[in-house]
Structure 1
Amino acid sequence: MIMSILTRNNVRLLGNQQADKTLVFAHGFGTDQTAWSEVAPAFFDDCRVVLFDYVGANEKTVPFFNPKKYRQLYSYADDILDIFEELDLKDVIFVGHSAGGMSGTLAALQEPTWFSRLVLLNASPCYVNEENYTGGFSTESLDDLFAQMESNFHAWASGFAPMVMANPDRPQFASAFAKTLSAMRPDVALAIAKVIFYSDHRSDITRLPHQTLLVQGKVDIAVPVDVSYYMEKHMPNAILTFINTEGHLPHISGAQEVIQAIRPFVN
């Protein structure tokens, strides 16, 4: 059983294994745990650090992907709780990017005593624009996005990556993102994208009791700043901080800004 869960999510234990604090980093769509390679080491001295991959993120985890199981973010939340249980993790500081952060939020609602606090980086409870809510996408634009993914996945990935990553003066970041995106199996990527972009967890975030740091980059095509203001307003114990980054993946393109934003909260 231990092998299956730790293998399923490609779990790695790093940092100071004797430390009192445990940090769990969760990646978002189109990346895997390597997205944290510039951020996580900053906490190795003082924390036990857990990295993992969501099922379907790459070749290692795709054999465990079952479209019937992974039809909602709650399934990914269950996987997080499986990892916590296997490793006997308690009082975890959970750091999650984008949909990875929302999955952690749902996990914390199920087992609140297993978490001490959360950091949500460019996360969103709902991506679709509605009356009195700006999520960032119209249903038409999502239909178009999914059609492009279906017709030519690799062409879509090579166009989507620079748009979402931004930072055109540093094309290596978009290239790296295109690489992890393209490492996903196209049908699995499409299934996961639909789960994420059609999810609506606005009612769930109102019930999260934990202290939560919302870290938002100033320019993000996938998660507009209005979303962070919405979360700050509707989450009971949220603090919102902005970092001077552009793009949806600031932990890759602006790692130092992310480290500086979360370190005081972690400590």
Structure 2
Amino acid sequence: MNRLWRANARVVGSTDGREEEGAVSVVLAHGYGASQAVWHKLVPSLSQRHKLLLFDWDFTATGAGKDDQEVYTFGRFADELIAVMEERGVGASGAVVVAHSMSAMAACIAAQRRPDLFAHIFLVCASPRYINSEEEGYVGGFDEAAIQGMLAAMESDFDAWVKGFVPNAAGDASAVEHLSKSFLAMDPGVAVKLAKMIFLGDQREVLDGVKTPCTIVQVKADFAAPPSVAEYMQLRMKGTAATVEIIDSVGHFPQLVAPQQLLDILDGVLRLREAAAAAEHDAGSVEITDGIDVAM
């Protein structure tokens, strides 16, 4: 398995010496067609108070996943997420992992495999299944014929598909140029393989095993992952405290078109995690009558 993509991982930001007070590290995991650059509107604010881990999955232009024999699965991405967190020393005391689009289900799997690394999973525009299932009453947003048609268009002329797909995914003209460059930087063969993994897959059973506290953030007008998917995910995550937040925006990339709304929700989660960590730290010591605190 190619690991050269890890060379693109970087840790930025500062905890300002607040680790002992429960400062929380943040991992930013981008989705399909993007790179770590997709977080550029969030990084300046987040890095003032938190240590951030950013990286590129190996399907980006800077990645190395262009081997025709490469096999992509959500489980593989979960293992790579765990590996990069360990290698960069992020998550030793539990990190808040912000996972966009396809990274969301990888994060759910990774949190089950290594719960010690994950204090909270923050899922942005997530979907465990894109294809509708009438017999189950599940609305994923697409019928299978539409997905097969999209995949055929990608295989036929990837560049033309990108030019048609990106404006809908962006939701705002201001994000089209950024995303077009990012999507077109992918190797077309790799892009199609990943698209099949994502759009034909069914990861709904993964939700049953999620134990890590979770925030599911969906965009009100996201053609790829409608709010009904977020509601389904919340109901199925019976093993944890899962909440849903809806951003009043359009498109599949709120970090580009509605960054402040996304930051506001994330900041609330981070402050709660810091308060919880600080409380745990305080509970770990007992005050002795002579005024000396002894760690438990």
Aligned counterpart, 2:250: 246
Contact 1:69 / 1:75 at 8 angstroms: preserved in 2? no
Amino acid at match of 1:179: K
Helix, strand or coil for the counterpart of 1:263?
helix
Could you tell me which residue of structure 1 aligns to residue 146 of structure 2? Answer: 141
Classify 1:117/1:227 alpha carbon distance in 2 versus 1 (closer, same or farther; 3 Å): same
- Tell me the CA shift for residue 146 of structure 1: 0.8
Is 1:74 matched with 2:75? yes
Which residue of the partner structure matches residue 194 of structure 1?
196
**Are residue 41 (structure 1) and residue 44 (structure 2) matched?**
yes
1:75 Cα deviation from its structure 2 partner? 0.7
Structure 1 266/5 Cα, relative in aligned 2: closer, same or farther at 3 Å? farther
SS at match of 1:137: coil
Gaps of at least 5 residues in structure 2 are 272-296
Aligned to 2:284: none
Q: 1:111 to 1:66 in 2, by over 3 A?
A: farther
Paired residue type of 2:140: G
Q: TM-score, normalised by structure 1?
A: 0.92
Amino acid in structure 2 at the alignment position of 1:25 = L
What is the CA deviation profile of residues 81-133 of structure 1, one whole-angstrom value per residue up to 9, with x for unaligned ones? 11122123320110011111111111111111111011001101111111210
- TM-score between the two structures when normalised by the length of structure 2: 0.83
Q: Which residue of 1 aligns with 2:237?
A: 235
**What is the SS of the residue equivalent to 1:241?**
strand
Q: Partners in 2 of 1:67 and 1:48 — Cα distance? A: 36
Instruction: Give, in whole Å, the separation in 2 of the partners of 1:200 and 1:165.
Output: 24
Deviation at 1:71, TM superposition (A): 2.7
Question: What is the deviation of 1:70?
Answer: 3.2
Task: Report the equivalent of 2:160.
Answer: 155
Decide which moves more: 9-18 or 23-32.
9-18
Does structure 1 retain, via aligned residues, the 8 Å contact 2:66–2:187? no
Match of 1:113 among 104, 111, 116: 116
Residue 216 of structure 1 is matched in structure 2 by 218
Which is worse superposed, 63-72 or 225-234?
Answer: 63-72
Structure of greater Rg = 2
Aligned length: 259
The DSSP-based 3-state class of the residue aligned with 2:169 is helix
Q: Deviations over 1:15-74 (max 9, x none)?
A: 11655321000111111111100012211121110001111122x21x244455533111
RMSD of the alignment, in Å?
A: 1.6
Please say if residues 25 and 94 of structure 1, whose CA atoms lie closer than 8 Å, have aligned partners that are also in contact: yes
SS of residue matched to 1:126? coil
Report how far residue 245 of structure 1 moved. Answer: 1.1
Residues 6 and 40 of structure 1: CA distance in aligned 2, closer, same or farther (over 3 Å):
farther
Q: Which amino acid aligns with 2:261?
A: E
Is contact 1:5–1:86 with CA below 8 Å preserved after alignment? no
Task: Return the letter of the residue paired with 1:150.
Answer: E
Q: Cα distance, 1:9 vs. partner? A: 5.6
Match of 1:26 among 19, 26, 29: 29
Distance 1:191 1:252, change over 3 A: same
> 2-side partners of 1:164 and 1:109: how far apart?
30
Contact 2:6 2:84 in 1 (8 A): no
CA contact (8 A) 1:213 1:240 kept: yes
Contact 1:27 1:53 in 2 (8 A): yes
Cα offsets for 1:135-174 (capped at 9, x unmatched) = 111111111111111111111101100011122xxx2311
Structure 1's 141 and 184: CA in aligned 2 closer, same or farther, altered over 3 A? Answer: same
Contact kept? 1:97, 1:121, Cα under 8 Å: yes
Residue pair 2:65, 2:190 contacting (<8 A) in 1 also: no
C-alpha distance in 2, partners of 1:225/1:67?
Answer: 36
Q: Determine which of 95, 102, 109 is the counterpart of 1:99.
A: 102
* CA distance 1:6–1:261, shift in 2 (3 Å): farther
User: What SS class does the counterpart of residue 24 from structure 1 fall into?
Assistant: strand
Which residue of 1 is the match for residue 207 of structure 2? 205
- Secondary structure (helix, strand or coil) at the match of 1:144 reads helix
Q: Could you tell me whether the CA contact under 8 Å between 1:16 and 1:47 is conserved in 2?
A: yes
